[in-house]
């Protein structure tokens, strides 16, 4: 394969259909091989560095687990307060530094475009683990992998995306990767948290059907899948605005049962109140399985960018 060798993973729109297929295929291989063995030796001697300037649980830990399950090593900048960032070091200088110690960088930072800045500074592969309200391409790929596993196909699905579509980087990246498969999208959000027009327009250009609405029940009744997201508190300049909008959409068991059909429910997590815990035992609630798939997909991405698959 080798098409992703030495490449950066920065944006959901960077992938060709062929690359997406290769990532899915490699992730499925990783899942299978891991079941028998628990760990592989593919990246022995390689080092991953995690550079996280924003909170993370799943993304950082699943990247670390992925690298270790591939036999590689992990180093981490640790907290911003505990690093030279606290002394005023720039992002690009920090990037230059860690590039001397590692073979691949995973970076999360509050500024849109920050991962690209890092990639333009260093010669080793850089993986964007979230650049502010921008993109989160590895989440998008694990979401896509999960959808394929849960629904058996990616083709011509009706997909409802709910919540903070303006600031949510997971949905920004997810629609880009899904646009290769002929999706119908329902974008459900409060009016001021709508999907950026540029992204909605690109989806239409790519031949996807796009419907924007505030009515979750209507959209869900027409969909195969509901992708819930959190209102992104940290992106609000005015916290009273956030207080007004939180709780805009809440999925509970009663709502799901009333749809009267099997529906798949995803969420990148963390959740605040948008999915009631009484949904967790619903058979279509796939958000915990989704987290586990993150390890396989990140294993695939690491192996591919480091040229070992």
Footprint on this chain of ligand NCD (rule: CB under 6 A):
58-59, 130, 136, 139, 169-170, 229-230, 268-269
* In the complex, least distance from residue 267 CB atom to ligand NCD, rounded to whole angstroms: 8
Compute the Cα dihedral for 265, 146, 177, 73 and give only its sign: positive
* In the complex, least distance from residue 214 CB atom to ligand NCD, rounded to whole angstroms: 20
Give buried/exposed letters for 233-262 (b at 16+ CB in 10 A, else e).
eebbeeeeebeebbebbebeeebbeeeeee
Nearer to ligand NCD, 42 or 175 (CB): 175
Give buried/exposed letters for 164-183 (b at 16+ CB in 10 A, else e).
bbbbbbbbbbbbbbbbbbeb
* In the complex, least distance from residue 18 CB atom to ligand NCD, rounded to whole angstroms: 26
* In the complex, least distance from residue 167 CB atom to ligand NCD, rounded to whole angstroms: 9
Nearer to ligand NCD, 125 or 132 (CB): 132
**∠ Cα 269 113 183 (to 5°):** 55
Nearer to ligand NCD, 46 or 136 (CB): 136
* In the complex, least distance from residue 263 CB atom to ligand NCD, rounded to whole angstroms: 21
Nearer to ligand NCD, 257 or 273 (CB): 273
Partners of residue 173 on adjacent β-strands: none
* In the complex, least distance from residue 70 CB atom to ligand NCD, rounded to whole angstroms: 20
Under 8 Å between Cβ of 104 and 124: yes
d(CA 189, CA 212): 8
Nearer to ligand NCD, 259 or 269 (CB): 269
Under 8 Å between Cβ of 130 and 58: no
Nearer to ligand NCD, 99 or 193 (CB): 193
Give CA separation, 172 vs 42, 110, 307, in Å: 32, 15, 28
């Amino acid at each position: 394969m080798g098409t992703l060798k030495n490449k950066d993973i920065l944006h959901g729109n960077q992938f060709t259909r062929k690359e997406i297929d290769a990532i899915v295929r490699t992730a499925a291989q990783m899942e299978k091989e891991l079941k028998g063995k628990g760990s592989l030796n593919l990246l022995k001697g390689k080092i991953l560095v995690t550079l996280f300037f924003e909170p993370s649980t799943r993304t950082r830990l699943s990247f670390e687990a992925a690298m270790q399950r591939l036999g590689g090593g992990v180093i981490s900048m640790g907290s911003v307060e505990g690093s030279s960032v606290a002394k005023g070091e720039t992002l690009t200088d920090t990037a230059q530094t860690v590039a001397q110690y590692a073979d691949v960088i995973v970076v999360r930072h509050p500024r849109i475009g920050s991962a690209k800045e890092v990639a333009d500074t260093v010669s080793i592969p850089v993986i964007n683990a979230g650049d502010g309200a921008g993109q989160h391409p590895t989440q998008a790929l694990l979401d896509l992998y999960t959808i394929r596993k849960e629904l058996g196909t990616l083709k011509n699905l009706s997909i409802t995306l709910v919540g903070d579509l303006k600031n949510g980087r997971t949905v920004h990246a997810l629609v880009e990767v899904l646009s290769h498969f002929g999706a119908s999208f329902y974008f459900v959000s409060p009016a001021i948290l709508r999907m950026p027009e540029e992204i909605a327009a690109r989806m239409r250009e790519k031949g996807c059907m796009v419907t924007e609405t505030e009515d979750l029940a209507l959209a869900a009744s027409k969909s195969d899948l509901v992708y819930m997201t959190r209102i992104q508190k940290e992106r609000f300049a005015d916290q009273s605005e956030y207080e007004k909008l939180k709780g805009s959409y809440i999925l509970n068991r009663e709502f799901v049962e009333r749809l009267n059909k099997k529906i798949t429910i995803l969420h990148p997590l963390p959740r605040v109140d948008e999915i009631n815990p009484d949904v967790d035992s619903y058979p279509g609630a796939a958000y915990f399985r989704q987290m586990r798939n993150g390890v396989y997909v990140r294993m695939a991405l690491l192996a591919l960018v480091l040229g070992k698959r």
